[in-house]
């Protein structure tokens, strides 16, 4: 017997979401992004599920890529933040890690290295997000240096990242796309190179920016990047279900309080169910009273503060709740984005901050 809190991971849903990305842009190839422990789902298992489908996997850094290699993953792996020190260039060459290149120091490290095999490089351009990427005026010279180096494969890919792709009516999306396209048109060295602009939101809603390489991340895990309805996002299948059970039931009288600090007070005689899941299991500590939890498939409101190991919910209006009744904190029947909205955060954070304690239970 073990503590019932666990994360159920549906690998078939993961694969179906990847296929959806490919179907939306049939002329493009898609990097399957498994950074941050596959957004909390387990990088090794996610990569094994996606490797037969994806030509390239994507991670943030070389440590994440090495973890996948050690687990037997053989497909190329794109380092989305590139290298952090010059010694990583030789590792990338040896292990077939593709490099995102975003500054002149990285370029210098690449061309000065003594590598076993030429590197596949993606050149990132800052078109308005102002986080990573070369300035547009640096691109032509950077490409000339990379192309002249025997350390670099000829198939350089031009990349950028939208700052507000999830806000469909934000004018910055069109402005960034215009900036990128003008740069390509005016940059002699960029002619004929493949392009990559599309993150999850762009894949789902902006076909003009699909280009040759997609970078699906959040959408792979079955949650929408949007705060409004979107027809394509509605086709996504949730991959993670955070599940547990009712471990205690108690009646309380009107006026009695529940949890640390007594922050919730019953306005009527109530039945309180305690669930084995808390912020030590990835449930947001700042989730307020009223946040929905499913008990045997029916919504019950969170009451009282979230504890490290437990939460409490009001099940007064749900018949036949008993010890062992199923609790779903988020998953196939309760969208993680909805819980995140109550907790004043985003679904990205809830998934990627999932700790190791809840056992991942994988199904195909």
Kindly tell me if the per-residue pLDDT of 358 is higher than 80.
yes
Binding residues: 131, 308
Region(s) of the chain under CATH 3.20.20.10: 11-223
Q: Which residues contact 59 (CB under 8 A, 6 or more apart)?
A: 33, 34, 35, 43, 65, 68, 77, 78, 79, 80
Binding residues for substrate: 131, 308
Q: Which residues contact 185 (CB under 8 A, 6 or more apart)?
A: none
If you classify domain 11-223 with CATH, what class do you get?
Answer: alpha beta
Kindly tell me if the per-residue pLDDT of 1 is higher than 90.
no
Residue of 18, 35, 39, 124 marked catalytic: 35
- pLDDT, average across residues 56-70: 98
Region(s) of the chain under CATH 2.40.37.10: 240-363
Assessment of whether the complete model's pTM goes beyond 0.85: yes
Residue of 75, 221, 260, 348 marked catalytic: 260
Q: Does 147 participate in catalysis according to the annotation? A: no
Kindly tell me if the per-residue pLDDT of 254 is higher than 80.
yes
136-148 vs 171-186: helix crossing angle, rounded to 10: 40
If you classify domain 240-363 with CATH, what class do you get?
Answer: mainly beta
Q: Does 18 participate in catalysis according to the annotation? A: no
118-159 pLDDT, tens per residue? 999 999 999 999 999 999 999 999 999 999 999 999 999 999
């Amino acid at each position: 017997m073990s503590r019932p809190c666990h994360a159920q991971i549906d690998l078939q849903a993961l694969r179906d979401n990847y296929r959806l990305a490919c179907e939306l842009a049939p002329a493009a190839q898609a990097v399957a992004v498994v950074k941050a422990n596959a957004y909390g789902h387990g990088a090794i298992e996610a990569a094994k599920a996606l490797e037969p489908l994806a030509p390239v996997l994507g991670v943030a850094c070389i440590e994440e890529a090495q973890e996948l290699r050690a687990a037997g993953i053989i497909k190329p792996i794109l380092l989305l933040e590139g290298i952090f020190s010059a010694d990583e260039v030789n590792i990338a060459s040896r292990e077939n890690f593709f490099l995102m290149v975003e500054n002149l120091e990285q370029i210098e490290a690449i061309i000065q290295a003594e590598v076993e095999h030429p590197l596949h490089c993606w050149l990132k351009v800052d078109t308005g997000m102002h986080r990573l990427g070369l300035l547009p005026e640096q691109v032509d010279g950077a490409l000339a240096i990379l192309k002249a180096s025997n350390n670099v494969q000829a198939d350089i890919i031009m990349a950028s990242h939208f700052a507000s792709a999830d806000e469909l009516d934000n004018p910055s999306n069109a402005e960034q796309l215009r900036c990128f396209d003008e740069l390509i048109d005016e940059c002699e060295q960029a002619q004929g190179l493949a392009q990559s602009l599309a993150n999850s939101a762009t894949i789902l809603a902006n076909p003009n920016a699909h280009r040759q390489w997609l970078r699906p991340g959040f959408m792979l895990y079955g949650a929408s990047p949007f705060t409004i309805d979107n027809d394509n996002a509605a086709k996504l299948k949730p991959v993670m279900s955070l599940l547990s059970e009712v471990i205690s039931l108690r009646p309380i009288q009107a006026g009695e309080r529940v949890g640390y600090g007594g922050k919730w007070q019953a306005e009527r005689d109530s039945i309180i169910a305690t669930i084995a899941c808390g912020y030590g299991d990835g449930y947001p500590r700042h989730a307020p009273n009223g946040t929905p939890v499913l008990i045997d498939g029916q919504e019950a409101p969170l009451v009282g503060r979230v504890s490290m190991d437990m939460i409490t919910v009001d099940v007064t209006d749900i018949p036949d709740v008993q010890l062992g009744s199923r609790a779903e904190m988020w998953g196939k029947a309760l969208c993680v984005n909805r819980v995140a909205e109550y907790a004043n955060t985003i679904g990205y954070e809830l998934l990627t901050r999932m700790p190791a304690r809840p056992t991942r239970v994988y199904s195909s």
